[in-house]
Structures are given as C-alpha cells and as structure tokens.
Structure 1
Amino acid sequence: MSTLEDIESKRSPQEKTSSVETTDLQNHDDPDIIIEAGLRRGLLGRHISLISLASVIGASCFYGFGYALFLSGPLGALLGFSIVGWIVWALMQSVGEVTTMFPIAGGFVEHANRFVDPAFSFAMAWMYYFMWSVFLGSEWNGAILILQYWVPEEHMPLWGWTLVFWAFFSILSTLGVVVYGEVEYYLGYVKLFSLALCFFLSLLVNVGAFGNGYIGFKYWGHPTGPIINGINGFGQVFVLASAYYVGTEIISLAAGETKDPRKSIPKGVNNVVWRILFVYLGLIFFQGIVCPSDSDQLVNANSTTASSPFTIAFEKAGWSWAGHFVNALITIAFISAVNGCIYVQSRALYALALTGRAPKFFTITSKKGVPYVSILTSCLWGFLALMNIGVTAGQVFSYMTSVGGSAAYIAWAGIIFTHLRVRAGMDKQGIPQSSYPFRAFGSIWIYRFNLFLCLFLLFIQGFTSFEHPFNWRSFISDYITIPTSLLLFVGWKWYHNTRWVRLSEMDFSDRLVKLEEEEELEKQSFVNKVTGKLRLRRRRVS
C-alpha cells in the first residue's frame, strides 16, 4: 500500500481541496463553520429527511399529473410512474453509496470529476444546471396557469406575475442555507399533510360521501379505458415521470452543507421509498380514480388555463369552492418547490465556478456563507415563463417538460455510471465493501441494468415526434439535450486535453470511513510532521 505522502504527491489541487473539505467534516460539529470557500454546513438531519421526502413536490405535482392521465389514462400513468419510480429507487442507492463516502460540495458533479473524467463532469454539471433552469421557468409558468383561476390575465398580465416571482424568490433564496432548510422542513410537512388530506377527500368522493354517488373504478373503464393512446401516450409518460421524479438526488448536492452526512444521507436515501409510494404513485392512483382522463380541464398542450384533477373531481362531486382550497395548497407547494429549485441551481453553479468550469465571480459569498451571485443569476431563468406570451401556457409546459425530462435521464445515467466506476475502482484497489459507510442494496447488476434503462428511455422517449406529419418542435424539445451534452463533453475534453481516470489511479484516501491501516498511516504521518517541526524549533533555539 502507498504511503500517505506518496498518495498526496499524486493528487491534483482540486482533489486536495476535497480532502480538506472532508477533514473539516470529520473534525468539527459546529454547523456554523464556513467551509468550501464560503458555504456553511447548516443543514441538519431533519432537514435532509424532509428534503428527500418533499422538497420538490411542486405546484405542478397537483395539476401536472393530470397531463399523465390525459396522455395515457389512469392505469397507463400508474404503470409509467411505477417503472420510473424503480429507476429512481436504484438511482438513490447509487447516490447513497458514493455520497456518504465522499460528502463534498458539488456532490455527484465532483464525484464524476474525480472518478470518471473532468470533461464528463463538465458536461453533466452544465446539463444539470440547464435542466433545473428549465424547470424553474416551468414552475413559474405552471403557477401562472393556476393563479389565473383567481386573477384573470386582464387584471394581471403574464409578465407581471414573473416580476412578482422574481422579487419574492430573490429575497427568500438569499437568506441563507439555514432558512432554506427551515422553509423546506415546515413547508414539507404542510405539503405531505396536504397530500394526505387530498387522498382522504378522494376516497370520500370515490365512495359517494359528497352525495355524488359511488365511483369505484368507473373511470378506468368509462369513457376511455384504463390505458389510452396506446404506446404513444404510454411512452410520453416516461418523460413526464422523469421530470417529476428529478430532484430526489439533490441530497448529494446538499451533502456539502450537511452537518452529519454519515447518518443523514443514508436516512434520506432510505426515505425515498416512501416518497415514491406515497407522493408519486399515491397522486397518480387517487387522481385516476376520481377524475376522468378525458376532462377538457386537464392540462395539455392546448391549455390556456388548467385545473388540478383534484379540483375537477371535488367540484364534480358538488364541492363548489374546491378550486380555492386546492389552489391554496398548490401555492404553498409552488413556494417550496421553487425555493428548492433555486437552491440546486445556485449550488451547482457555485461548484462549477469553484473548480474553474464557470466564471470565478459565481463563487462570491456573503459573510453568512450565501452564494448570492449564483442565486440571483439562477433566479433570472424563471423569466423563461414569458414564452407563454407567444404560445399557450400548455405548450410551454409540454416543451419544458420534454427538455427537462430528457436532461434528467442524462443526469441520472451520469450518476449511475460514476457509481459503477467508483465501485470498480474500490474493487481494483482491494478496498472491501465492508468498509463502506453505506452500501447500495443487492448486486451490482441492478445498477448496470438501471444505467441501460436510463439510456434506453432517453433515446426512445421522443419517438412520437417522428409520426406523420413530422413534429419538429417536439423533436427539438425531446432530443436537444443529447447533442448539447455531447458538444459540452467533446469541447471541454479537446480544449483542456483531459483524460479518463484509470481505476488504479483513483484516489480514495479521503473517504469518510477508512481501513485501520490507513488510519494508522495518517496518525503516523501527523506525528512525524509534528516531531519534525519540534526538532526544527529546537535547532533554531539552540
């Protein structure tokens, strides 16, 4: 085994920085300690738990799932979300194994940089940032779509809402990571309670408690059937599902600001099962049994306004002011989701700038450790919602969902591939899996298959655009992310002449849990350094 000095001499400045970050994590418990050239480790275990469960349950989860019903019917939507749910569960096992071992700023972006190829990390990071930028515009667009239920366009222009959103979230997002954590914590509970309440009310509607008569599974057979639009509708659900599931992996990015990642990250990873079952599959199931999939009020590409399936069902059952109730819940979810979206954007951009892959001024932080330049820049992407001035809000929702969904599969494939490389490198260097602070469930073939699924769905998700007549707008929104990511990868690799990291050269010396002999080497190295300094001082004194 190499000595600690030999290992250190081979490491790049970026890798040495990561070592300092992890050492800070091991030696300090104060959440107010500034790390990562300015960020603070202010997120606690309870924050991570709620972030993993509810952080990106946005406004569109309440109304956007209606698009899945519109595309593929109640059973088709449920099957599509179940398949993508399995992908996300396996993805989070990959995230948990690598992130718990290396809880550094930038999360999986920096893991790709260290263990795969800097060019691979560059392309992955910028695609991830652009993905969240598109989702930010989509959330603003969706909120406008719903708020027009209360305030028609003649009373509040579309651009007026975007200015209100920009001002509000610019202020909220720059209050610091602790405020972010607390907002997500309390609003997360509100969102989970709101979902549970909507599920309960859906059961009441389904059994006829509002005097509307028993429904049961009537909408699974009449008037459209359990699966509609055949393979076309079912295929489009995969893109929609990825757009909604994405964000589960943000606990990897949050690890750099988490007080005790060795305990918090595995807990957050395990919580994702409940998020998949309760939030996503629960939403699809309950909305599918109370709302007909052929309702003209469901969001679709032709929508100028839209209603949540819950609103449609509750009003159909006789609850006249259900729209006000559901819209209030949607507004709360919107605030939380955009807060989380900007957090991810800004931390990804900060990490890029910290490693020279974005302009250096994005690393500027306040005295409280807030990367306000990255935050305020990221907030500007919300103005993408102004696209709804030229086309319908439903078309904007459809295009943004397609772009964001395909980018999600690219990001997930990158995360899984990085995990496979790390596992192969650890095995190559003889590091036993028993030393992992968190080990992904089951065989490594689960994760190889998961990588295949992500790539397969990425390439086939836009096949409907090839039907006659060829839909070039849909084709661009479905596939623009693939050439863009390849261009980023090739361009950075050519310009910087980066090389693939070999398994035998991967540096695992700063992982969170180490073997006893490695710890002994570090202790001996520390003793030698201290002894050498003392001898030098004695010589000077004498």
Structure 2
Amino acid sequence: MDPVGYSHDEKGVSKEPQHVISEGDHGADTELRRLLSTRHLTMIALGSSIGMGLWLGSGESLSSGGPAGIFIGYVLAGSMIWSVSHSIGEMAVMYPLPSAFVQWTGKFVDPSAAFALGWAYWFSYCITIANELQGIVTVLSFWTDKVPVAAWITIFLVVIVLINVCAVSVFGEVEVIASSIKFGWIFVVIISMIVISAGGAPNHEAVGFRYWNSSPFTHGFKGFLNVLPTCIFAMSGSENSGLVAAETANPRKSVPRAIGSIWLRLSLFYLLGSLMVTINVSPYNPDIFGGSGTNASPFVIAYREAGLQPLAHIMNAVIFISVLSTGSISGYGGSRTTMGLAHLGMAPRQFARADKTGRPWLGLLVTLVLGGGLAYLNVNNSASNVFTWFSNLTSLFTLFGWGMICFSHIRMRYTWKLQGRDVAELPWKSWTYPYAAWWGLIWCMVLMVVEFYLAVWPLGKPSSAKTFFANYVSVIAILVLYFGARLYYRGPWWVDASTIDLDAHRRFYADKDPEAKKTGFKAKTSKTLGFIFN
C-alpha cells in the first residue's frame, strides 16, 4: 500500500502528485492557514527551545559534568543545531510542509524512515509536554509546596490546551510575547551575574572563575559525556521553525531571517547563559536541580546566594513562562507532525483535517492527552528522576530527527544535481553546504553511540537492564518502527533519486523579494528596520 495521494507510472514506480503552490494559498496543500508572519517565525525560532533544559537542566549538567563540561557540551550541541538549522532553512523555503522534516525524509530518503521519524518525533513532543509540566511544578515549589503536584499539573495542562485551541494567530502572539520576555531577560542575567561574580552584589563575594579552577570536570570524561544528553534536550525544539514555515505568509522571507537569528540564541542563551552559571554556582551545591536540597534553578540560586532575593523571584517567574511556552509549542509541533504523517498515508486520514482557522483538532487532542497523562508520572517520582528519564528519551529522538534533517538535505542537493538543476534555481541556498550538513549528521551518529555507552555503563550507578532500557528505549522504538514500516512498504531501501519529483509539493515564488529591488541606502535601511521590527 502506498502513502495517500501517491500514484504509479506504467512501471509501477510510486510517484508523488504534481502540485504547484502559489502565494496566498493554504499551507503546503493542507488545511493549514498561512497566518504567521516573519515576526512570529523569528521569535519562535529564538525562544522555542528555551525551557526546562536550559533553566533547570543546566543545574544537573553542572553537577555531573562541572563548569568546563557543561560549557563545552553547549558549544558542541550549539554547533550541531546551527548546522541543522541551515539544512532546515534551505528545504523549508522550497518545501514548507506541515510536518517538515518528516515529509522531507519521505521524499528524499525512504518512506520507512519517514514513518519511524514521524511517530518517534510525535512521541518526543508528548514527552516534552510532560517534562515541561513537571518542570512547572519544580519552579512553583520555590514559592510554595502546599499545592499538590497533581493539581499544578492539571491547572497548567489546561492552560497549554487553551493556548493551542485558540486561533493560530493567537498562538503565534502568545509565543512572541513569551520569547520576547526570555530574550530580554537574558541580557539582565548576563550583566547582573558578571557583577555578582566580580563581587558587586550585596554579599560582596568575588567568585571569579573559582569553580573553573577547582573543579572544571567533576566526574572526568564520563561526566562530560553525561552532560551531552541534557545539552541536546535543552536545544531540542529549534527545529520547530521548519514546522512553522508551512503557516507563514512568505517562507522565503521569514525562514532565512529566523535561521539568521540562530547564532544570537546560541551565543546569548546557551553559551553566555551557561557560562554565567559556572562562574556563580558551585557544582557541589546541594540545592541545584538534581541535588539533595530545594532542587531550584542554578540561576535562581545564584541570585539568592548573592543576596538579590527580588531578582531570584523574577528569574523564577521568567523560568515559569519559558517552561509553559515550550510545553505549548510542543503541542503545536505534535499536532502538525500527525497531520504530515496523515498526508503521507502513515496516520489515519482524520489527522489531516483542520478547521477553518487552521487547527488540526484530532492531532491536538491525542498529543495533549498523552503528553498530559505522562506528566502525572511526576506525582509518585522525584522531579529530577523524571527529568532524567524524559530528557534521555527526548535527546535520542532529537538526535535521530536532526540526523535525518541533515541527511535529507544532502539527498535533496544530490537529487537536484543529478537531475541537472542549477543551484542558482534554489529560492534560498545556505552558504554552509555541504560542510554543515555533514557535520550535523556525523555528530548525531556519534552521540547516539555515546548514549548507548552511558546506558550500559551509567554515571554513578551499577549497570542493569532496567537502567539500559530506561535510557535507551528510544532507539529500540525507532528500530521497531522502522523495520515494521519496512515490512509494510517493502520496495527498495532508498528512494531512487532519479525518480523524485522535485516540483511536487514545492512552493513557487512569483517574483523576487521586493527588498531585493531596492538599492543603496534605502535598501539597507529597509532591511535593517525589517529585521528589527518584523
């Protein structure tokens, strides 16, 4: 059985239907609406992955890897998502599809791989919703522990549901506001924590690089490896810009600007943000998340110990907004992934439906119900244990997804060249190809091996089958999905590049961006103002 919408030629080769997408239509031949602007896409790209992984998970990473371990981990993970984002950019401009990388994989790699990627990624979104909900409980416990865990989870699951069932434009505005708060606050964090480290806080204690000098790596090389899954989990979600492209008015304008902002997020949020933690908080502090104390964010601890209690409360509030925002985006991503799977014939047809405002109701329902249900695991388990389980599962799904994005990009370019097309015909091309795509793909494969090593020989725990399956079951699930799909679809292991219809599901652009027609001072001014205000 072939995916829905596919036909056969006289030789029995599966072919995709011809469809030319013009500006102003529905989202990539679906019932999605193009209601999001460059401003929405840029801010979602800036803030979509700023959640529990950075604000809370950095505490656990600091404890297991030390100051140098967490910083190097973010440098490596940052280089990977930077590479992945450029692959996304080139494909999202030309093929702005509802589940993006799932459909790109089906088109350029193999339907079985797309099936495995789509369902694995959908489950990853559900896990992220659960993880962010239990993160909310941890954040709120800084103020009070009188409210039952289940009550907090229920209240904010309802909030996430309400954000997602609103019109797409409302969802976009909510995420713009949340991302603006995150983005603005990081400047306060960087400046204030430099002052704290220099001894300018009320406690007048100059910390400097004391912790770097005393314990750069708390558990050696193995401790550094243990940090990597959390760093990958923290940056997961950056690929959501590829999903949002299907609902933007002009992907050729919006996507490159969003991709161009990646360096800003990587440098400000992750690299400088993690550096601020390492120079102000001891990796042996019992109160950091994952420790034996209050399990607070290391950013909150830094302010509290410096005698800046008002900033500690504001920081905790910003973390709360960040975690809630990431959970909301995961509901969005999960519902669009099921829609893409339905368009490939890999999910029931009902998942392909959306209402008049572009909401895929069935996909939203199952994503939010499963994600919310998993969150209740936190009721009878410690927050840090649940976080470790979920982040390990999500990081493996993320590595698989990032790897397939890079591989799809490589295959797309190969097919483009094989069929005699000129690179100049691409609506937008990345200057990083092919080096970035290969860099991202190779590191994804290496880190999946690293996580296998950590699952067999975990840090600080004896080896056991229970620990292995808890930490590596994601890969087993991917393999089961892939080989199950292979049995179902059969056929060749690879899509024959010579038979790929490069114009199917492609978006054609009527003319060049009006900005490109301007020259001189006016053009530069227009582009600059557009980047700032759009």
| TM-score category (smaller protein) | 0.7 to 0.9
Deviations 1:129-156 (A, max 9, x none): 111111111111111112112221xx32
Mapping of residues 435-446 of structure 1, within 5 Å: 435-446=425-436
CA distance in 2, matches of 1:257, 1:303: 45
CA distance in 2, matches of 1:446, 1:504: 25
Shift of 1:173: 0.7
Structure 2 partner of 1:503: 497
Structure 1 pair 514–258 and aligned structure 2 pair: CA distance change class (3 A): closer
Identical amino acids, percent of aligned pairs: 27
Structure 1 partner of 2:517: none
Structure 1 partner of 2:465: 472
Deviations 1:33-54 (A, max 9, x none): 5764421111101111111111
Structure 2 partner of 1:526: none
Is 1:220 paired with 2:212? yes
Mapping of residues 307-346 of structure 1, within 5 Å: 307-346=296-335
- The number of equivalent residue pairs is 497
Structure 1 partner of 2:438: 448
Mapping of residues 259-338 of structure 1, within 5 Å: 259-300=249-290, 305-338=294-327
DSSP-derived class of the 2:347 partner: coil
DSSP-derived class of the 2:287 partner: coil
CA distance in 1, matches of 2:15, 2:331: 25
Shift of 1:356: 2.3
CA distance in 2, matches of 1:465, 1:104: 35
Q: In structure 2, which of residues 479, 484, 505 is the aligned counterpart of residue 491 of structure 1?
A: 484
Deviations 1:380-431 (A, max 9, x none): 2122122123321111011111111111111111111111111111111111
Shift of 1:370: 1.1
One-letter identity of the residue aligned with 2:297: S
Q: In structure 1, which of residues 193, 196, 202 is the aligned counterpart of residue 193 of structure 2?
A: 202
Structure 1 pair 97–34 and aligned structure 2 pair: CA distance change class (3 A): closer
DSSP-derived class of the 2:261 partner: helix
Give unpaired runs (5+ residues) of structure 2. Answer: 1-6, 512-534
One-letter identity of the residue aligned with 2:201: F
CA distance in 1, matches of 2:441, 2:124: 19
CA distance in 1, matches of 2:307, 2:23: 60
Structure 2 partner of 1:15: 16
DSSP-derived class of the 2:309 partner: coil
- Check whether the contact 2:175–2:325 (CA below 8 A) recurs between aligned residues: yes
Is 1:193 paired with 2:184? yes
CA distance in 1, matches of 2:509, 2:32: 26
Deviations 1:457-493 (A, max 9, x none): 1111242343372143432233212221111111112
CA distance in 1, matches of 2:400, 2:261: 24
Shift of 1:280: 1.0
Mapping of residues 93-492 of structure 1, within 5 Å: 93-152=86-145, 155-211=146-202, 212-222=204-214, 225-300=215-290, 305-380=294-369, 381-467=371-457, 469-492=462-485
Shift of 1:271: 1.1
CA distance in 1, matches of 2:94, 2:358: 24
CA distance in 1, matches of 2:509, 2:148: 58
- Check whether the contact 2:53–2:230 (CA below 8 A) recurs between aligned residues: no
Give unpaired runs (5+ residues) of structure 1. Answer: 1-6, 517-542
CA distance in 1, matches of 2:433, 2:122: 31
Deviations 1:36-82 (A, max 9, x none): 44211111011111111112211442222111111111111101110
- Check whether the contact 1:174–1:370 (CA below 8 A) recurs between aligned residues: yes
DSSP-derived class of the 1:38 partner: coil
Deviations 1:234-279 (A, max 9, x none): 0011111110111111111112111100111111112111111111
- When structure 1 is superposed on structure 2, of 407-416 and 490-499 the one drifting more is 490-499
One-letter identity of the residue aligned with 1:332: I
Deviations 1:335-365 (A, max 9, x none): 2211211111111112212332122332332
CA distance in 2, matches of 1:393, 1:102: 40
- Check whether the contact 2:406–2:441 (CA below 8 A) recurs between aligned residues: yes
CA distance in 2, matches of 1:515, 1:393: 52
- When structure 1 is superposed on structure 2, of 316-325 and 39-48 the one drifting more is 316-325
One-letter identity of the residue aligned with 1:452: I
**RMSD after superposition:** 2.4
Structure 1 pair 14–58 and aligned structure 2 pair: CA distance change class (3 A): farther
- Check whether the contact 2:8–2:15 (CA below 8 A) recurs between aligned residues: no
Shift of 1:13: 9.2
One-letter identity of the residue aligned with 1:246: S
Shift of 1:304: 7.6
Structure 1 pair 438–259 and aligned structure 2 pair: CA distance change class (3 A): same
Structure 1 pair 187–445 and aligned structure 2 pair: CA distance change class (3 A): closer
- Check whether the contact 1:435–1:513 (CA below 8 A) recurs between aligned residues: no
One-letter identity of the residue aligned with 1:297: D
- Check whether the contact 2:28–2:97 (CA below 8 A) recurs between aligned residues: no
Structure 1 partner of 2:47: 54
Shift of 1:91: 1.1
One-letter identity of the residue aligned with 1:215: V
- Check whether the contact 1:60–1:139 (CA below 8 A) recurs between aligned residues: no
Q: In structure 2, which of residues 60, 69, 83 is the aligned counterpart of residue 90 of structure 1?
A: 83
TM-score by length of 2: 0.88
DSSP-derived class of the 2:16 partner: helix
Choose 1 or 2 for highest CA Rg: 1
TM-score by length of 1: 0.87
- Check whether the contact 2:402–2:440 (CA below 8 A) recurs between aligned residues: no
One-letter identity of the residue aligned with 2:16: E
